[in-house]
Amino acid sequence: MNISKREVKLIAGDISNYNRGLKSFKSNLCEIENAEYNWDDLEIEFQGTALGTKMYNFDIKLNIDVKAKDDRIMDYNCNCPAFDQYDRACKHIIGGLLTFEAGGYLDGIEEHILESSYSQPLLEVEDLELIHIDCDELEGLEEFEYYPYDEPDYNTPNKSRETLLYESLKKYEKSLEKTENIEEKIELETEYYLERENIYSYRPNYFLKIKIGIVGKRKYVVKDVVQFIDSYKHGKILEFGKEFEFNPAEHKLTDYDYKLLDQISRMCKITEEFLTKYNGYHISSVRKGKISLTNEWFKMFLENISGNENIKLDNEKMKLSSLEEANFTFINKKSLGVEPFSVLTDGAEFIATQAEIYPIKKKDRELIKILYDAASLQNGSISRAGELGKTLTKLVKNTDLGTIEFLDQVGEPIIFIDENRVYRNVLSIDIKVSYQKEMIVEGKKYLLNEDKKKTAEIFKEVTGLDQRSDFNTSLYGKGDVLEFFLNKLPKLNEKYNVQIDENLNRIKMKKVSIDGTIIKNGDLLEITFDTNGISEDDLKAIQLGLLNKKKYVKLSDDGIVDLADKKLRELEGTLAELDFELGTQQISEFTASKLGLISPSLNMKNVGDLKIEKLLKSIKNNEREIVPKSINATLRNYQNHGYDWMKKLHDSNLGGILADDMGLGKTLQAIALLTAVHSEQNGRSIVIAPTSLTHNWLKEIRKFSPELNAVIVEGSVKERKELLNNFKNGVILTSYGSFKKDIENYENLEFLVAMLDEAQNIKNSGTLVKKAVQKIKSSSRFALTGTPIENSIFELWSIFDFVLPTYLHSREKFKRNYGKKINQDMDEDCLINLKKLIKPFILRRTKSEVLKELPEKIVTNMILGMDTVQKKYYLSYLSKFKEELKDNLEEEFDKSRIKILALLTRLRQICCTPELFIENYKGKSAKVEALIELLEELKSGGHRVLVFSQFVKSFEIIKKQLDLKKITHFQIDGRTKAKKRLEMCDSFNGGEKDIFLISLKAGGSGLNLTGADVVIHFDPWWNPAIEAQATDRAHRIGQDKVVQVIKLITEGTVEEKIIEIQEKKSHLINSMVDSKGKIEKLTKKDILELFE
């Protein structure tokens, strides 16, 4: 069977596309992975891979009906872009079809279908059972012996009788020559198919179908056995089909086949003579190639078989055997077992089991009939408890019915591994778990019992499958089979008796080596590969195996290569960087450094100190960069290391990602770097941060590096441009939004350091912000983020594309080499290679890693700016309140304390969000935005958070944003009942939900919430003791993590004044408010300070 080229060219659409597919086939770029044969629907579906710009997968379905010629291709699919783009088959489909046909997958299919397709109606001959001819009657019939003599036809005109006799004599002489050359004839193979109808009756109807043909080739149905034997005897040619004709001059039958066929021919002649005489007209005994067998004829057929014939009963191959040597009846303590059998002839002269035909001695035939009925009655196991079972057991023991007894002993488990040859060219095995069934004791054979529970346990250990009735399964495909042989089988051999098909002994490991070397050739670097004698085809097989993440690959000499080998896995990463080219090629210094990171075994010859290698050496040595003395802080050890790492990257004109966990002081380390760089040379640096954090950066710079010049570029477009033009030396602070709008003002500027804070803001590579920051010109670039990856590995690529452009290639190549493999396939080796590449340029420490250097509690004030609209409201209310305060303080200060507190509360609400009391507020809230960004980052980092606020209404505003971001939360306020509080606390500590919103007044005490490791105070409270008490909901006995406390403070407002007073005059706070937060002892001067 084949696939016509006409049909393949038809689906290709045009000759150029067909030639591309032909080239893929001839270049061995296509590989068949699996093929499934559906004999019921006459279909084959197969899958494979094709190597193009990347590895693609195709799936093709074929029609294998022998009637189909140019209509075999039913369906096809490929995941390459061309398949979706054009209305035709791609080159991978064309190459896959050609590879499939060339691989022999279609060989022998027609024969298999034709052998199993004869299910035509049975012979319709009336009353065949009327033929009661005793076999003894055959003795007087004529014997049809071979005698190649044709009686002359003396009535032939124009020829004398002498001439005719001479012609006959010449024919005889010629036949003698043929007889002398008989040894040179091709011996034919004959197959006998016995079919049953009404198989559940005691005596089914039997039919015989005969096939004949050359050994190893298709067999043809003998439609008329009488005609066939006559042709054989008289040397006549008989056509069987286009591809085979029977020629007695070239073909011969075995002696036993000739004898049996001759008997069948005589039987058919007698049957036809009888039917013709009985009916008055001629009726053939053979119809559609089937011969109806009466009981007598069937018995005669069975008596004439020698045991050498190829006989099948209901398509099961049968063997003529002796019952005395068989295991036919089984005796144990409780029952008499009988192998399932059928009685072939009425007198029980012959019986058949699944694979054997047994003649029965005359003395045992009646017992066989009773045994058949008793076994049918009791499902093959006859109880010995009753009289029937006792008597049968006694009689069976005294006969030759293949009786064997059971020992009271369990057989040893045995695992059988056999080659499965059903799927051509697909490596597959059959696995069966069985047990030792027999044992010889004092010369007598006994059967052993099976421990089915133990067999089931071993079957599951071997296959991973639950119990099956036959404890038999198959493994298909090289990957699974080789995995079994090379990993599982050695362990099984140590524990069990494993019997392996000798054909599988060829599966052996082979060690291969592919060595890469980078050499300097003039001013250029070259990489070459020594393949150590591996053939080109095997190299392609190894490359495809690595690309497709195969565990093993089979070479042309049947050797098996373990692709898990460390050097080969390193080679995979090397090939990915080189677009899977193994030839000699020129590479850049950057590429050479990357290959060295991926594959330490790579040979480097006379390449000198590469930039990245030099950097790594300097980082590893003990010579640390000294933190500038002007830094107004003592850096912890890990912070010193972070500064050292950033400074050395800057000095190498490289960049990196500082990805420390939140609260570990990324800002301080960055300020130390900026201070050091600006102490060495004049110029500008730039820090881009979210709007809510630009003021915090300015505050931190002034706090930790007072000598470092810094400015926030904010305000109107004109104001921002003037600030930028007038600022020549120091650090520019701006927001992502402002930078995106002002990109034209920045494009021609050159910076010493460019730094992105909360760099996850550029995680989407297609955004305008990402495109804008990519245009920055700078000696070094750094990204600060606690979450370099939130959802996808492409977010890491986007940030790396900023700090080290082109280092991780274009997005498309990164997607091909790493993205899909890591994101979708969870490819561990690919992830390891990527980690090797980025390790020098990303520094991340978690709190747990530096726990010993940290205090139990880290308190951070996050200084925030205000939205423009929000700021206008604040200044307006502040001016109004100042006038009211001035009048009240002059007249009745002591009576105005409640009103003063109300005015302060209103200002504090504006700092949170004017929405708390202004209806239809259209502006934004910098604090709410900063909180949501913070919570997103904390969630990504695996942190769980408590958020405290005095204003319960603020939670309603916050929750709307949390729901949009899919951040789950609990809430406790004054309305929450005590029982419900405890239930929510237990659930939160048990890991349920991300955030806990808590009213400061209602939940500031009495709760145990050690499930959180971050506490955020949304708005500062007058009494720091109450804030501390709230913080202690998480920071208490049972907490095994460092607790980070973050206070959100709006810059230039009453909130900042409160914090200043808390820090400078803690004794004043204690005197100005009581435990309930009421103002009691605040002086006029103190109150006026709050409103400055």
C-alpha distances (whole Å) from 1080 to each of 22, 881, 1076, 1087 are 94, 20, 11, 12
Residues 491, 652: Cα–Cα separation, whole Å:
53
C-alpha distances (whole Å) from 411 to each of 45, 434, 450 are 42, 9, 6
Specify the pLDDT at position 134: 43
Specify the pLDDT at position 314: 82
Annotate 836-850 with three-state secondary structure: HHHHHHEECCCCCCC
**Contact in structure between 32 and 425 (CB atoms under 8 Å):** yes
**Using 50, 70 and 90 to split pLDDT, how confident is the model at 132?**
very low
Whether the predicted pLDDT of 471 surpasses 90: no
| Residue 459 CB-density burial (10 A; 0-12 exposed, 13-18 middle, 19+ buried) | buried
**Contact in structure between 423 and 443 (CB atoms under 8 Å):** no
* pLDDT tens-place string over residues 187-238: 999 999 988 876 555 567 788 899 998 888 888 988 888 889 888 888 888 8
Specify the pLDDT at position 166: 72
Specify the pLDDT at position 130: 40
Specify the pLDDT at position 854: 66
Question: Among residues 91, 73, 117, 104, which one has the least CA distance to residue 29?
Answer: 91
The angle formed by the CA atoms of residues 975, 978 and 984, to the nearest 5 degrees, is 90
Instruction: Please give the CATH superfamily to which domain 857-1090 belongs.
Output: P-loop containing nucleotide triphosphate hydrolases (3.40.50.300)
- Which residues are 330's β-sheet partners? 337, 404
Question: Among residues 123, 280, 268, which one has the least CA distance to residue 197?
Answer: 123
Specify the pLDDT at position 894: 61
Q: Which two tokens stand for residue 180?
A: 């002398």
Residue limits of CATH 3.40.50.10810 in the chain: 613-852
* CATH number listed for the domain at residues 613-852: 3.40.50.10810
Cα radius of gyration (the chain): 46
**Contact in structure between 631 and 639 (CB atoms under 8 Å):** no
C-alpha distances (whole Å) from 756 to each of 49, 476, 732, 742, 845 are 43, 53, 12, 16, 18
- Helices 828-838 and 589-598 cross at an angle (nearest 10°) of 130
Whether the predicted pLDDT of 526 surpasses 90: no
Mean pLDDT computed over every residue of the chain: 81
**Contact in structure between 711 and 727 (CB atoms under 8 Å):** yes
Residue limits of CATH 3.40.50.300 in the chain: 857-1090
Residues 658, 643: Cα–Cα separation, whole Å:
10
Question: Among residues 228, 3, 229, which one has the least CA distance to residue 95?
Answer: 3
Amino acid at 733: L
Q: Long-range contacts: 229-235, Cβ < 8 Å, 24+?
A: 229/144, 229/261, 229/262, 229/265, 230/144, 230/265, 232/146, 232/258, 233/144, 233/145, 233/146, 233/147, 233/148, 234/148, 234/150, 235/148, 235/175, 235/178
**Contact in structure between 918 and 873 (CB atoms under 8 Å):** yes
Specify the pLDDT at position 793: 86
**Contact in structure between 390 and 384 (CB atoms under 8 Å):** yes
pTM, full prediction: 0.53
Give the lowest-confidence range in 356-370, 751-765, 870-884, 999-1013: 999-1013
Specify the pLDDT at position 979: 83
DSSP letters along 135-148, please? GGGGGGSPP-----
Rounded mean pLDDT of 982-992?
89
Q: Is residue 525 within a helix (H) or strand (E), and if so which, with residue range?
A: strand 524-530
**Contact in structure between 20 and 91 (CB atoms under 8 Å):** yes
Q: Which two tokens stand for residue 220?
A: 């043809």
Give the lowest-confidence range in 587-596, 701-710, 970-979: 587-596
Rounded to the nearest 5 percent, the helix, strand and coil shares of the chain are 45, 20, 35
**Using 50, 70 and 90 to split pLDDT, how confident is the model at 895?**
low
Give the lowest-confidence range in 91-100, 291-300, 778-787: 291-300
Whether the predicted pLDDT of 785 surpasses 50: yes
Question: Among residues 462, 468, 469, which one has the least CA distance to residue 499?
Answer: 462
Percent of the chain, pLDDT > 90? 22
Question: Among residues 961, 906, 952, 909, which one has the least CA distance to residue 930?
Answer: 961
List of residues 6+ apart from 453 with CB closer than 8 A: none
| Residue 688 CB-density burial (10 A; 0-12 exposed, 13-18 middle, 19+ buried) | buried
Question: Among residues 477, 480, 449, which one has the least CA distance to residue 462?
Answer: 480
Specify the pLDDT at position 1073: 47
Helix residue spans in 148-254 (DSSP H): 161-180, 225-234
Helix residue spans in 327-402 (DSSP H): 365-377, 387-397
Whether the predicted pLDDT of 263 surpasses 70: yes
Count the neighbouring beta carbons within 10 Å of the beta carbon of residue 520. Answer: 14
Greatest Cα pair distance in the chain: 165
Give the lowest-confidence range in 681-695, 747-761, 869-883: 869-883
Whether the predicted pLDDT of 150 surpasses 80: no
* pLDDT tens-place string over residues 155-200: 555 566 677 777 777 766 766 665 555 457 889 999 999 888 765 5
| Residue 139 CB-density burial (10 A; 0-12 exposed, 13-18 middle, 19+ buried) | exposed
**Maximum average pLDDT range among 523-537, 700-714, 844-858, 868-882:** 700-714
Rounded mean pLDDT of 859-874?
87
Tell me the helices (H) and strands (E) count for the chain, helix number first. 39, 47
* pLDDT tens-place string over residues 33-92: 888 888 877 888 999 998 877 788 999 998 888 776 667 888 899 988 888 888 789 999
Percent of the chain, pLDDT > 70? 85
Strand 857-864 to strand 350-352: parallel, antiparallel, or no bridges (unpaired)? Answer: unpaired
Rounded mean pLDDT of 616-638?
84
Q: Which two tokens stand for residue 600?
A: 């330490």
Strand 238-241 to strand 43-51: parallel, antiparallel, or no bridges (unpaired)? Answer: unpaired
Residues 652, 580: Cα–Cα separation, whole Å:
30
Specify the pLDDT at position 1059: 80
Specify the pLDDT at position 15: 85
- Which residues are 613's β-sheet partners? none
Placement of tokens 């003396």 in the chain: 154
Specify the pLDDT at position 757: 93
Q: Which two tokens stand for residue 328?
A: 């036919």
What letter does residue 183 receive in the DSSP assignment? Answer: G
Give the lowest-confidence range in 121-125, 271-275, 410-414, 787-791: 121-125
**Contact in structure between 48 and 25 (CB atoms under 8 Å):** no
- The CB-side HSE value for 1000 (13 A sphere, CA atoms) comes to 24
Rounded mean pLDDT of 550-567?
78
Rounded mean pLDDT of 816-836?
81
* pLDDT tens-place string over residues 996-1037: 999 888 776 667 788 888 999 999 887 777 777 788 777 765
Specify the pLDDT at position 1085: 65
**Contact in structure between 93 and 58 (CB atoms under 8 Å):** yes
C-alpha distances (whole Å) from 156 to each of 167, 275, 388, 438 are 12, 35, 76, 73
* pLDDT tens-place string over residues 371-420: 988 888 888 888 888 888 889 888 988 888 888 888 778 888 888 888 77
